Amino acid sequence: MRRLPRFVTGILCLILLRAPLAAGQTAEVNQALVVHLTLDAAIARAVEASHHLGELRARQAGAHATWEGRQAADRPQVSAQAGYTRTNHVDAFGIGLPGRAFEVIYPDIPNNYRARLDLQWPIYSFGRTAALERLAQAESDASGKDVEVGRADLKLDVTRAFWALVTARESVHVLEQSLMRMDSSLQDVRNRLAVGLVPPNDVLSVQAQRSRQQMLLIQARNQLDLSSADLARLAGLSPDTRIEPDALLDQPAAPVQPAAAQGAQVGALVAEARRARPERQALAARVAEAGNRREAALAGKRPLLGVAGGVDYARPNPRIFPRLGELRESWDASINLSWLLWDGGRVRADVAEATASERAVAERLADLDSALEVEVRQRWLDVESGRAAVAAAMDGLAAAAEARRVVADRFASGVATATDVLDAQVALLQADLDRTQALASVKLAEARLTRALGR
């Protein structure tokens, strides 16, 4: 037998040694791409990664900064000023008196320096500053409620995507189990065809149904990948990350309450929604904001009272006579009253605009209140009907499983046909998928009810 060259043998040994390491690295990379998430963990990740929430938080920070600026509007302002001016040369002006030296009154000073420490303090604005401060505070509060609205919407989106992923995973499992049963039935029918107990069309019927279930399984796996990518996007993960949700749909449904209890429950839930819904709180804050804007516009007809003062250090100092070419200091203090007597209708137009805005926001609030009860009632009824659908689906699944068992026993005894077995398996698959969809619908209905209640 001819031996291989040494370098070839070395390369083969290196490949064989590195193969387990490469396989381990590949398994490690694949393992790194799998993320196990609970619903709460997915929501927490989404809140941290949401760009929309980041925008709302930035707007809230801006509104809060505006409020702080309005609070500082009635505080004194102190500023330092300095300047240099170069002028052309002029003839010095002076007076000469008998027996006295010539006295210069207006000397030639081309280099002029000036420094001032200035104070401005609006001590009373007749309500204008306070109205603007309340306006900014209301906008800051409304912006905070906007963040809560965005967080509640994001929570609902993540919940929907999470349970869609769980539903897709459960659907894949159901179809895989059904396909295994279908393979067993197909093999059984083929064995019976081989001994002449069933006609060939029974085999073709089972094969056609198996192909259809294989197609449904492929569609379910595609939906599983899409649901995982959607949840990964919301959670701030890479789209190719495979998410394994730590949750199950197999949970017992709560009993449906009597109609009288439902009415009392819905009334309490509507009252809770009116207290807790962030959209309503934001609208209420903006109603107050519009009222403060109207008050601020009305304050435009009122006077402004303020004090001012400062210390000047200049060369030459224009307040000192005669003019001297040296640095001298002076000070001033004043109290000023400003009153706009006529503005051509600007204040009236601002008041009308603010009044219209206040009325518009109040109408939006009233419209939300009128729709709130209907929304809460609808979400509550969706949950109740979903729970009833789960109970019916459970009963249907139990009946379909028992029917399939009976038909399989009859088929084994030669009493039932392959078509009967096929129909029973299809009915069992549909009942199992109906149960999965009913459980997922209840989860989504509960999430929507939670969103409607502002929890």
- Same domain? 197 vs 322: no
- Same domain? 66 vs 171: yes
- Same domain? 135 vs 91: no
- Same domain? 130 vs 105: no
User: Residue 218 has what pLDDT?
Assistant: 92
User: Residue 264 has what pLDDT?
Assistant: 65
User: Residue 222 has what pLDDT?
Assistant: 93
Is residue 9 domain-resident?
no
What is the chain's mean pLDDT, rounded?
Answer: 83
Model pLDDT for residues 360-402, shown as the tens digit of each residue? 888 988 888 888 888 888 888 888 888 888 889 988 989 999 9
Q: Which residues of the chain have pLDDT under 50?
A: 1-2, 4, 7-17, 19-32, 256, 258-260
- Same domain? 312 vs 297: no
User: Residue 21 has what pLDDT?
Assistant: 44
User: Residue 371 has what pLDDT?
Assistant: 87
- Same domain? 85 vs 70: no
- Same domain? 116 vs 244: no
The neighbour count for residue 90, using CB atoms within 10 Å, is 11
User: Residue 66 has what pLDDT?
Assistant: 85
Is residue 2 domain-resident?
no
Helix (H) or strand (E) holding 61: helix 51-71
User: Residue 256 has what pLDDT?
Assistant: 45
- Same domain? 298 vs 308: no
Is residue 135 domain-resident?
yes
Local structure of residue 240 (DSSP, 8 states):
T
User: Residue 319 has what pLDDT?
Assistant: 86
User: Residue 5 has what pLDDT?
Assistant: 52
Domain containing 326: what range? 79-124+304-338
Is residue 237 domain-resident?
yes
Domain boundary among 283, 318, 338: 338
- Same domain? 116 vs 130: no
Is residue 407 domain-resident?
yes
Single pTM value for the model = 0.73
Number of domains in the chain: 2
Is residue 4 domain-resident?
no
Is residue 6 domain-resident?
no
C-alpha to C-alpha distance for 386 and 163, rounded to whole angstroms: 15
- Same domain? 119 vs 132: no
Q: What is the β-pairing status of strands 77-86 and 93-95?
A: unpaired
User: Residue 80 has what pLDDT?
Assistant: 94
* Tokens representing residue 23 in the block: 């396989």
- Same domain? 225 vs 149: yes
Is residue 25 domain-resident?
no
Helices and strands in the chain, H and E counts = 9, 8
User: 137: closest CA among 81, 190, 63?
Assistant: 63
Local structure of residue 252 (DSSP, 8 states):
P
- Same domain? 163 vs 231: yes
